[in-house]
Chain A
Amino acid sequence: MIKARKLGKRFGDKRVLRDVDLDVARGGFAVVTGPNGSGKTTLLRICAGLAAPSDGTVEIAVPRAAIGYLAHDPLVYRELTALENLELYGRLYRVPERRERIGMLLERFGLWEARHERVSAYSRGMTQRLALCRVLLHEPELLVLDEPYSALDTAGAELLDAQLAELRGERTLLVSTHDPARVETLATMCLAIA
């Protein structure tokens, strides 16, 4: 699904990623770990198709419509409600039975009651839950999740554990985290970048 060779990325004179090789098979669950500034986010952005590598090659075997990308930012509009944000993405991704799918996700992530509230009124944890709804909305084949546990409380993290366990094997996952122990039972491979 993802095949990267000698991947490198520079921003001006600063090199943030150097000689990274990565092979993630269809249905695989790859975990990326590393300290702050090691290039995890850059690697994930490249794998999501949002950034081009400065060196090396990367092949992603799915079209961009089949990629779900969770970034540090939730990628939702603060002045729209959760429902309006998901409606917008649902339209753009041409999600079949959009309303039902949105309702199901909002229920699952505990946001149904707050669906008509603007995102600006959400806590950081609720916003992260909404971001997860956005990522899962179009049932992507490849999920690229950058620090998915960030800002989630215990209940939210357990919800995400269950969701990842459900997706494991069915979808391809590339997850960056500072807490690899959390997903080590699910992971099929681990990449540590320095």
Chain B
Amino acid sequence: MSYVADVRALARKDLLLELRARDTLPAMLLFVVATFVVFHFSLPAHSSELAASGLLWVAIVFTALLGLGRAFVPEREQHVLDGLVLAPCDRSAIWLAKAIATLAFLAVAEVVALPVFALFFHGIGTATVAAVVLADLGICAVGTFLGAMAVATRARDLLLPLLFLPLAIPIVVGGVGASVVSAPERYLGFLALYDLLFGVLCWATFEYVVAEAQ
């Protein structure tokens, strides 16, 4: 139970920081809506629904990247990560709490983004919504892990996209697949498997990312 309490305390702190600073969620919202507006005017008038579905996933991945890039900024600015790493809690709790907070920001951005997409392009089915939910889990699990790795480096702004985008390709494949086929179960299963695999991997190895001395 103490692990859950640690995660809750850390996630609450991240949500409180965003509520105070408001520098991640507004940027994500503005970015995703602006992206759809640009896509709306850049796509040919009679382009296919398939192309529009692809654009939805491009927008989701880059919006998430924007949030992930800021995930560890409060810790970096004051080197607070040292304080958290020294605390006797399981270090994976830091990752899980950060992933939950990032997931919350991404979910809020998508609550606005999906209706905007439907307005500009075409309606969104249940399979797409399910795929977005599953993709969000994987994006936040992997992205938060890589964000913690990148934050310790000088080239962090460059490193995060370089590491994250290749690992996001399976998410885009699964997401686009689930959005465009008539029987999306296989793609949804693929996304769930990705979440499970990378979730366990990140949870088990986060300790080595944040701790130099073992």
Q: Give residues in A with beta carbon < 8 Å to B.
A: 46, 48-52, 63-65, 67, 69, 71, 73-80, 84, 88-89, 91-94, 118, 134
Contact = CB atoms under 8 A, between A and B. Distances in A.
Contacts of B80: 73, 75-77
Interface in B71-114: 74, 77-80, 82-89
12 contacts: A69-B82, A71-B82, A73-B82, A76-B80, A76-B83, A77-B13, A78-B77, A79-B17, A79-B74, A91-B9, A92-B9, A94-B88
Chain A contact residues: helix, strand, loop or mixed: loop
A79 B23 CA distance: 12
Chain B contact residues: helix, strand, loop or mixed: helix
A63 B16 contact: no
Interface of B: 2, 5-6, 9-10, 13, 16-17, 20-21, 74, 77-80, 82-89, 212-214
A134 B86 CA distance: 12
Contacts of B212: 50-52
B20 A64 contact: no
A75 B79 CA distance: 6
A53 to B, nearest CB: 8
Contacts of A46: 213
A46 B212 CA distance: 10
Nearest to A53: B213
Contact of A49 (B2, B13, B79, B86): B86
B213 A50 contact: yes
Given A77-B78, A80-B16, A93-B87, A49 B213 contact: yes
